[in-house]
């Protein structure tokens, strides 16, 4: 496994978080609020993503937003009225938490205009990112706090100066929901593969492997020229997978294989898993919640 770069020493300082999608799989909850603001316990999903970036040493975050996404900006902004109220009531812990939230990182926003696909959303970040390596983290994909995937991927960039995508094994019958990689082993690193090809949502019979692309990427700025060359696919969307397929024809692109602790909160079942698994691990709630789950499972005769 590639060693992670110690926090603060990496040259990868920027993250782009696309959060401009319509979230149709979670309607009606996402009719009037962004999917990225759905709460997992007591924090909106995107806060977990921002905290993960900060833990990995990122200090400049660009969130790609769209129509109806104002609450995202408000969430990471100061709220003087609320702070005043909490101070008056002596709720110091809440006050500190609310203030810290606004000071976690340098957060910028740019609007996508029209949700023309994930690739298009990443392309919108070009001016902000400039000629730097950067991370892309999907705003609806969250990792548990112990995850070292992002640190590991940044480590790959530091060692090899190349892009990488996070990959996870799935049962082959589920692979048609994902981008799928054709991998080649990398001699001196067992958690890393070189990607030879990427196919978006293949049928299981023609899938090149059971490794699916997950929502974490580290890119060299060369990805932007590739995005410019991608033709719109199904529904007029510019696919990020297609741009990565062009990139790997020009320079090595690696796959960072991991297995645990990732949730796509845009899917209802994963949303529920995230809520339960993260709650079980919480210092303030875990013990009581575990007791409830044990009693619930027994009462309902589950398992
Ligand atoms: P998804 O495909 O999961 O998001 O994109 P979606 O389109 O909102 O979801 P459904 O299928 O309609 O339920 C992954 C991430 O990319 C962002 C989304 O906000 C999500 O965080 N995205 C997607 C954009 O920023 N712009 C787009 O045009 C599409």
Q: Is 123 in the pocket of ligand 1 (CB under 6 A)?
A: no
64 lines ligand 1 (CB under 6 A): yes
Looking at ligand 1, which residue's alpha carbon is closest to its atom 14? 138
Which domains does the chain possess? 14-265 (3.90.550.10), 267-303 (no CATH)
Q: Is 112 in the pocket of ligand 1 (CB under 6 A)?
A: yes
Pocket test for ligand 1, best of 44, 62, 118 (most atoms within 8 A of CB): 118
115 lines ligand 1 (CB under 6 A): yes
Pocket of ligand 1, candidates 15, 21, 125, 140: which has the most ligand atoms within 8 Å of its Cβ, to mutate? 21
Q: Which three-class secondary structure string do you get for the chain?
A: CCCCCCCCCCCCCEEEEECCCCCHHHCCCCCCCCHHHCEECCEEHHHHHHHHHHHCCCCEEEEEECCCCHHHHHHCCCCHHHHHHHHHCCCHHHHHHHHHHHHCCEEEEEECCCCCCHHHHHHCCHHHHCCCCEEEECCCEEECCCCCHHHHHHHHHHHHCCEEEEEEECCHHHHHHCEEEEEEEECCEEEEEEEEEEEECCCHHHCCCCEEEEEEEEECCCHHHHHHHCCCCHHHCCCHHHHHHHHCCCCCEEEEECCCCEEECCCHHHHHHHHHHHHHCCCCCHHHHHHHHHHHHHHCCCC
Measured from the CA of 139, which atom of ligand 1 is nearest? 21
Each residue's pLDDT expressed in tens, for the chain with a length of 303 residues: 666 666 567 789 999 999 999 999 999 999 999 999 999 999 999 999 999 999 999 999 999 998 777 899 999 999 999 999 999 999 999 999 999 888 889 999 999 989 999 999 999 999 999 999 999 999 999 999 889 999 999 999 999 999 999 999 999 999 998 999 999 999 777 789 999 999 988 999 999 999 999 999 999 999 999 999 999 976 789 999 999 999 999 999 999 999 988 999 999 999 999 999 999 999 999 999 999 999 999 999 887
pLDDT digits (tens, 9 = 90+) for 30-75: 999 999 999 999 999 999 999 999 999 999 999 999 877 789 999 9
Residue 18 in contact with ligand 1 by CB distance below 6 A: yes
Question: For 11-37, how does the pLDDT look when each residue is reduced to its tens digit (9 = 90+)?
Answer: 899 999 999 999 999 999 999 999 999
Cα(84) to centroid of ligand 1, in Å?
36
CA of 25 to the centre of ligand 1 (A): 10
Q: Is 140 in the pocket of ligand 1 (CB under 6 A)?
A: yes
């Amino acid at each position: 496994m590639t060693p992670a770069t110690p926090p603060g020493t990496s040259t990868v300082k920027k993250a782009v978080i696309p959060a401009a999608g319509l979230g149709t799989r979670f309607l009606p909850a996402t009719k009037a609020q962004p999917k990225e603001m759905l709460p997992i316990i007591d924090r909106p999903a995107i806060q977990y993503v921002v905290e993960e970036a900060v833990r990995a040493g990122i200090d400049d975050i660009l969130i790609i937003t769209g129509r109806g996404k104002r609450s995202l900006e408000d969430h990471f902004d100061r709220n003087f009225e609320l702070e005043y109220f909490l101070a008056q009531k002596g709720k110091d812990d809440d006050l500190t938490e609310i203030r810290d939230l606004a000071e976690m990182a340098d957060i910028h926003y740019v609007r996508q205009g029209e949700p023309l696909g994930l690739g298009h959303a990443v392309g919108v970040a070009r001016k902000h990112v400039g000629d730097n390596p950067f991370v892309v983290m999907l705003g609806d994909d969250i990792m548990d706090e112990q995850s070292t995937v992002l640190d590991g991927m940044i480590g790959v960039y530091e060692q090899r100066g190349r892009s990488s995508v996070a990959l996870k094994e799935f049962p082959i019958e589920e692979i048609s929901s994902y981008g799928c990689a054709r991998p080649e082993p990398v001699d001196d690193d067992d958690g890393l593969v070189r990607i030879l090809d990427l196919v978006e949502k293949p049928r299981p019979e023609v899938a090149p492997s059971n490794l699916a692309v997950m929502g974490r990427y580290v890119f060299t700025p060369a990805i932007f020229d590739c995005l410019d060359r991608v033709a719109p696919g199904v529904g007029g969307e510019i696919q990020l997978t297609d741009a990565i397929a062009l990139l790997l024809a020009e320079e090595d692109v690696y796959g960072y294989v991991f297995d645990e602790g990732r949730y796509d909160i845009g899917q209802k079942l994963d949303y529920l898993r995230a809520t339960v698994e993260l709650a079980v691990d919480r210092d303030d709630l875990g013990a009581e919640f575990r007791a409830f789950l044990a009693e619930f499972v027994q009462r309902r005769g589950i398992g």
